[in-house]
Structure 1
C-alpha cells in the first residue's frame, strides 16, 4: 500500500500542474512544464516500485522540488493568471512545503497527522485556484 500511496503523490503533483500548464500557460512553456512534471512523476513512480521504503528523505525533497517546478514559468504565469488565483496557487505550495517540513521532523508528535492537515489545506488552495481562476 505504501507504494500506491507514495506513487499517488507524484500523480497528484503532476495532475495539479496539468490545468495550469495546458489552460493557463499554453504554448511551448506550458507543454514543457507539463512534460517535465509528468516525466518526473513517472520516474518517481518507477523508482518507488524498485526502492520501496528506501530513500524516504530524498523522496520528500523530490516531492517538494517537483511541486515548485512552476517557478521556472513564473513570468508567463503572472502575465496570464489573476493575482487572486496566483495567491491561491502560492498558498497551496506553501501549505504543502510546510507540511513536508513538519512531516520530516520525526520527533514531532503526530507529525504524520499534522502533515495531512497541511495536505488538505494545500489541496483546498489549489482547488480554489483551478475552480475559480482557470476553469471556464
Structure 2
C-alpha cells in the first residue's frame, strides 16, 4: 500500500567507465559532450542511474508480493459479496467496497513491484496513498447500508466519504507531507464510526461487532508500524513495510468477514 517516504527513484543511463571519464559518467557523454552545461547534465544522468540501482538493491525482496497475492482474492471475494446481497442497495454498497479493495491491493502491487520513471512513481505513489482513504470509506459503505437505519446511513456515509475525499485531495496535492501529519488522518477517519458500534452489535450481532473492532485495531497497528518504521525484522526480505502490509491484509479479512455475515 503506502510506500516509504524516500523520494522515488529516478531513471538514468547505465554508467560505463572509460579512459577519460569517471566510473559513474557514461563514456559517450565523456567523449562527445562539450564542457560546461552539457557536461554537468551528463554527469547528473550517470548519478541518477547510480541512485536508481542503489534504491532497487535496498528494497526488500517481498515488497509488494503480499498485496499482489491478495488482489485476486479480493476480486473473487467482492463478487461473492455482490452475489449474496439481498437488495439493490446492498449490491451497490458491496460493489463500492469490492472496487475500493481492488484499487487498494492492485495499485499497491503494481507500485511496489515495478520500477517506474519519475512521473510514473509520482502518479502511482499518489494513488497508493489516496486509496487508503477510499478503502476506509468503502468498508463503511456496506456496513452502514446493511446495519444502520436510513438516517444513520446518511450521517455516517456523508461524514466518512467527505473525509475520504478531503484526504484523497490532501495526499494527491501534497505527496511529500510528513508521516506524523497524514498517518493520524488515516487513523481518525478509520474510527469515525465508533459511535455506531452499539447499532452494529444490535443489528449484526456480537460476531460482527468483534470483527469490526478487530479490523480497526489491526489497521491502527499497521499505521503505527508504518509511522514508526518498527519492527523491521528483515530489511533485505521482510521489512517494516511488509509488516504493515500484512496487518492491512489481516484487517481487511476481519472487515470482509463482518460484511459477509451482515449480508447473509
Report TM bin, short chain: over 0.9
Contact 1:17–1:34, Cα closer than 8 Å, also in 2 = yes
1:125, distance to aligned residue in structure 2 (A): 0.4
**CA displacement at 1:12 relative to structure 2:** 0.3
Kept after mapping to 2: 8 A contact 1:21/1:33: yes
**TM-aligned CA deviation for residue 108 of structure 1:** 3.5
1:102 equivalent to 2:231? Answer: no
Alignment of 1:57-76 (within 5 A): 57-76=180-199
Give every structure 1 segment of 4 or more consecutive aligned residues whose post-TM-superposition deviation is greater than 4 Å: none
Larger % of helix: which?
A: 1
Q: 1:44 to 1:89 in 2, by over 3 A?
A: same
Instruction: Indicate whether 1:134 and 2:258 are aligned.
Output: no
Question: Based on CA coordinates, which of the two structures has the bigger radius of gyration?
Answer: 2
| CA displacement, residues 8-66 of structure 1 (integer Å, 9 cap, x when unaligned) | 10110000000111121132122111111111111111111211121332211011111
Cα deviation code 1:81-114 (max 9, x no counterpart): 2101111111111111111111111354221110
Residue segments in structure 2 that go unaligned for 5+ positions in a row: 1-123, 233-238
**Pair 83,107 (structure 1): closer, same or farther in 2 beyond 3 Å:** closer
For the 8 Å contact 1:22–1:31, the answer to whether it is kept is: no
Q: With CA pairs under 8 Å and 6+ residues apart, which has the higher RCO, 1 or 2?
A: 1
The root-mean-square deviation of aligned C-alpha atoms, in Å, is 1.3
Counterpart of 1:116?
Answer: 245
Number of residue pairs the alignment of both structures matches: 135
Distance, in Å, in 2 between the alignment partners of 1:88 and 1:61 is 22
**Distance (whole Å) between structure 1 residues aligned to residue 230 and residue 179 of structure 2:** 16
DSSP 3-state at the match of 2:199: helix
Q: Secondary structure at the match of 1:134?
A: helix
In 1: Cα distance, 2:182 partner to 2:200 partner: 27
Contact 1:25–1:76 (CA under 8 A) maintained in structure 2: yes
- Counterpart of 1:9 (choices 123, 132, 136) is 132
Matched, 1:55 2:184: no
Separation (CA, whole Å) in 2 of partners of 1:20 and 1:71: 12
In the alignment, the residues of structure 1 paired with residue 230 and residue 247 of structure 2 have an alpha-carbon distance, to the nearest angstrom, of 18
C-alpha contact 2:222 2:245 (8 A) present in aligned 1:
yes
1:32 lines up with 2:160 in the alignment: no
Map Cα deviations across residues 59-82 of structure 1 (whole Å, 9 max, x no partner): 110111111111122232222121
Q: How high is the TM-score relative to the length of structure 2? A: 0.49
Q: Give structure 1 stretches of 5+ with no counterpart.
A: none
